[in-house]
A and B are shown apart, each in its own frame.
Chain A
């Protein structure tokens, strides 16, 4: 008789979800499903609002990456206005984005995942968290917290507040950069780089202990989607879409991001509020692809900054045959490399001779009825697409959030890990944590992706073939 295991809630992720593991008649894992159990509905309730409120409204989708929504939304509004924003505004938005990516990646690595990586997957769950990390490795925990704080401060110094600032506006940014802010950020970058380099050393030191996890945490061939710069380099703010396959062959390149819907379809499953985007030419579910740090580094020809490029060369070696790095466990590594890239890029932008240029806003009336804004959020490609009426009110909105792109890959990843680590009709603690840890690799932001009601939790259920719950684990 087949059975189902449920993990509910999934912990140390941003949002609410549960995992069910379906056992077959022989009691072996058949399939695992990642259910996103929260619903928000921003696409619907923004209808009727003036377009220029959209950055402010959609930034509220997320408290971790509001800047990504601000940027994608402002870019969609720029498209509605038909303006090219001033160069200084472009640089200012990029610096803000670098601050946000640093804080978000630091949160994911140090606060959420480092307890697994440094304390061990089988460590006592009562101590396997950031406070446990602070007891066992106080220096690392302190540095991780400092790095996140620095990213948050960059946001506050530039935009006035750490969470949900309103500085990014349609047509540019509200106020120019000041010399004081520039100098404060530049002063903090060397320490931030040192901390990231130490974290990378640590990563290289412990990676050998996670051979099983590397092999089974979402290690399968998929396509990879991200923005890349026109020269194929890493770009988190702008550029065109590129899709590579598992062999790192280019499937599609320099796709106009505003025509995303020609390439990306969205499927819906009755057991999750999270949509399942797929690559249209291959259909659903064959058109599975991944986004985020792993996808970006697989896609980019280079980072374009010295230290990040050096580390990218090491990253490439993870794939013996020159193909893409396939294990989702390496999302963690890719995140650390991106932190380096962001810090180096921010330094470059802040040292630009026109850094303090006061021309930072293009003022215009809407000249188009439809606008698309795409940016690389910390978790992957973020798409805002609006249609407006004559008065400038939102008539229709579509938001594709990074976590959504990875939905199919997360489901396949937990199935792979469950097959390896779940045995019998009971959920052991180590197995529970490993299945959850697969999800954590993707650093999903579920409150973002379903556009949160209730507590931030995850449940895991083990079901038999008749749908009866055999075992259930819940963390609050």
Chain B
């Protein structure tokens, strides 16, 4: 039974859950914050960013809280020196991988990557910056795609495909060369599928996708839009 009530231990405290919930769902329901970038309520979870890794008693490896369903008697630890160390490393690697310069970013002050760095107490990056040369795509009349600020969370891909149904965004290449792209790697402004709905912009956790004309720190977003949209659609269906 998916909705059968079970008991799990979360950070030493016994809490109730249902079998269809993930560790992240149960943690949030009990006021425990687990960092994440790729997970967004209202979109399917992909477990890509690895920031929501948690420790589960009896399991030697770390598990992604957003895609791991709870089981009866599960003992979960969401915060430990080991997890902190991993999370810091992941965020630092994200910073090192692209050209994230908060000083003049349109999303500074409303950026999930910046928030995470502050919460994790990151004051410097221990890894050499890669400084990739990334071209900004400003061909769309209303929006701009700046791959310098992309963390490859693929929220834009899922928002566009699952909620808008346009499937304009996708991922090209592999590994360190992976990039998000529009249509068949055409300029965004030339896309035949884009409906200019802006859901990708609202889903993006950083300033990689932004509205044109917004000055430093002005690109505020409403990612809470997605659970509302999906729940309303669920009601209508």
| Chain A residues proximal to chain B, CB less than 8 Å | 48-50, 52-53, 55-57, 59-60, 164, 166, 169-170, 174, 363, 365, 389-393
A393 & B138 in contact (Cβ 8 Å cutoff): yes
17 contacts between A and B (CB under 8 A): A48-B135, A48-B136, A49-B136, A50-B136, A50-B138, A52-B213, A52-B215, A56-B215, A56-B216, A57-B103, A57-B104, A166-B215, A169-B218, A365-B213, A391-B138, A391-B140, A393-B136
**In the complex, which residues of chain A have a beta carbon less than 8 angstroms from the beta carbon of B139?**
390-391
B212 & A53 in contact (Cβ 8 Å cutoff): no
Known: A169-B215, A365-B213. A56 touches B103 (CB 8 A): yes
The answer to whether B217 has its CB under 8 Å from any CB of chain A is yes
Other A-B contacts than A50-B212, A390-B139, A391-B137, 10 sampled, CB-CB below 8 A, are A49-B136, A52-B212, A53-B106, A60-B104, A166-B216, A166-B217, A166-B218, A391-B138, A391-B139, A391-B144
CB distance from B30 to the nearest CB of A (A): 36
CB distance from B17 to the nearest CB of A (A): 43
The answer to whether B189 has its CB under 8 Å from any CB of chain A is yes
Which 10 residue pairs spanning A and B have beta carbons closest together? Answer: A391-B138, A56-B104, A56-B216, A166-B216, A169-B215, A57-B104, A393-B138, A391-B139, A166-B217, A52-B213
Known: A50-B144, A56-B104. A392 touches B138 (CB 8 A): yes
Number of interface residues of B (CB under 8 A): 18
Closest residue of chain B to A53, judged by CB?
Answer: B104
CB distance from A386 to the nearest CB of B (A): 14
**In the complex, which residues of chain B have a beta carbon less than 8 angstroms from the beta carbon of A391?**
137-140, 144, 189
B138 & A52 in contact (Cβ 8 Å cutoff): no
B218 & A174 in contact (Cβ 8 Å cutoff): yes
The answer to whether B172 has its CB under 8 Å from any CB of chain A is no
Closest residue of chain A to B144, judged by CB?
Answer: A50
Give the distance in Å from the alpha carbon of A390 to the alpha carbon of B140 in the complex.
Answer: 10
The answer to whether B214 has its CB under 8 Å from any CB of chain A is yes
CB distance from B146 to the nearest CB of A (A): 8
**In the complex, which residues of chain B have a beta carbon less than 8 angstroms from the beta carbon of A60?**
103-104
CB contacts under 8 Å to A, within B97-124, are 103-104, 106
A contact patch SS = loop
Give the distance in Å from the alpha carbon of A49 to the alpha carbon of B144 in the complex.
Answer: 11
**In the complex, which residues of chain B have a beta carbon less than 8 angstroms from the beta carbon of A56?**
103-104, 215-216
**In the complex, which residues of chain A have a beta carbon less than 8 angstroms from the beta carbon of B106?**
52-53
Question: Residue-by-residue, is B204-216 near A (CB-CB < 8 Å gives 1, otherwise 0)?
Answer: 0000000011111
Give the distance in Å from the alpha carbon of A204 to the alpha carbon of B106 in the complex.
Answer: 49
**In the complex, which residues of chain B have a beta carbon less than 8 angstroms from the beta carbon of A389?**
138
B216 & A392 in contact (Cβ 8 Å cutoff): no
Closest residue of chain A to B187, judged by CB?
Answer: A391
Closest residue of chain A to B104, judged by CB?
Answer: A56
A174 contact from B104, B189, B215, Cβ within 8 A: B215
Give the distance in Å from the alpha carbon of A170 to the alpha carbon of B214 in the complex.
Answer: 9
CB distance from B220 to the nearest CB of A (A): 12
Give the distance in Å from the alpha carbon of A48 to the alpha carbon of B138 in the complex.
Answer: 9
**In the complex, which residues of chain B have a beta carbon less than 8 angstroms from the beta carbon of A52?**
106, 212-215
Closest residue of chain B to A55, judged by CB?
Answer: B215
CB distance from B32 to the nearest CB of A (A): 33
Q: Which of B103, B106, B214, B216 has its CB near the most chain A CB atoms (within 10 A)?
A: B216
**In the complex, which residues of chain A have a beta carbon less than 8 angstroms from the beta carbon of B213?**
52, 170, 363, 365
Give the distance in Å from the alpha carbon of A60 to the alpha carbon of B140 in the complex.
Answer: 28
Give the distance in Å from the alpha carbon of A348 to the alpha carbon of B115 in the complex.
Answer: 41
**In the complex, which residues of chain B have a beta carbon less than 8 angstroms from the beta carbon of A174?**
215, 218
**In the complex, which residues of chain A have a beta carbon less than 8 angstroms from the beta carbon of B218?**
166, 169, 174
CB distance from B116 to the nearest CB of A (A): 22
Closest residue of chain B to A166, judged by CB?
Answer: B216
Known: A60-B103, A60-B104, A391-B189. A53 touches B135 (CB 8 A): no
Closest residue of chain B to A49, judged by CB?
Answer: B136
A170 & B215 in contact (Cβ 8 Å cutoff): yes
**In the complex, which residues of chain B have a beta carbon less than 8 angstroms from the beta carbon of A49?**
136
**In the complex, which residues of chain A have a beta carbon less than 8 angstroms from the beta carbon of B103?**
56-57, 60, 164
**In the complex, which residues of chain B have a beta carbon less than 8 angstroms from the beta carbon of A393?**
136, 138
**In the complex, which residues of chain B have a beta carbon less than 8 angstroms from the beta carbon of A170?**
213, 215
Q: Which of B136, B139, B213 has its CB near the most chain A CB atoms (within 10 A)?
A: B213
CB contacts under 8 Å to A, within B178-204, are 189
CB distance from B145 to the nearest CB of A (A): 10
Give the distance in Å from the alpha carbon of A166 to the alpha carbon of B105 in the complex.
Answer: 10
**In the complex, which residues of chain A have a beta carbon less than 8 angstroms from the beta carbon of B138?**
50, 389, 391-393
**In the complex, which residues of chain A have a beta carbon less than 8 angstroms from the beta carbon of B144?**
50, 391
Give the distance in Å from the alpha carbon of A389 to the alpha carbon of B137 in the complex.
Answer: 12
**In the complex, which residues of chain A have a beta carbon less than 8 angstroms from the beta carbon of B104?**
53, 56-57, 59-60, 166
CB contacts under 8 Å to A, within B207-237, are 212-218
CB distance from B159 to the nearest CB of A (A): 22
**In the complex, which residues of chain B have a beta carbon less than 8 angstroms from the beta carbon of A57?**
103-104
A392 & B212 in contact (Cβ 8 Å cutoff): yes
Question: Residue-by-residue, is B134-158 near A (CB-CB < 8 Å gives 1, otherwise 0)?
Answer: 0111111000100000000000000
Q: Which of B103, B138, B215, B218 has its CB near the most chain A CB atoms (within 10 A)?
A: B215
CB distance from B186 to the nearest CB of A (A): 14
**In the complex, which residues of chain B have a beta carbon less than 8 angstroms from the beta carbon of A365?**
213
**In the complex, which residues of chain A have a beta carbon less than 8 angstroms from the beta carbon of B216?**
53, 55-56, 166
CB distance from B213 to the nearest CB of A (A): 5
CB distance from B126 to the nearest CB of A (A): 22
Give the distance in Å from the alpha carbon of A170 to the alpha carbon of B213 in the complex.
Answer: 8
Q: Which of A55, A170, A391, A392 has its CB near the most chain B CB atoms (within 10 A)?
A: A391
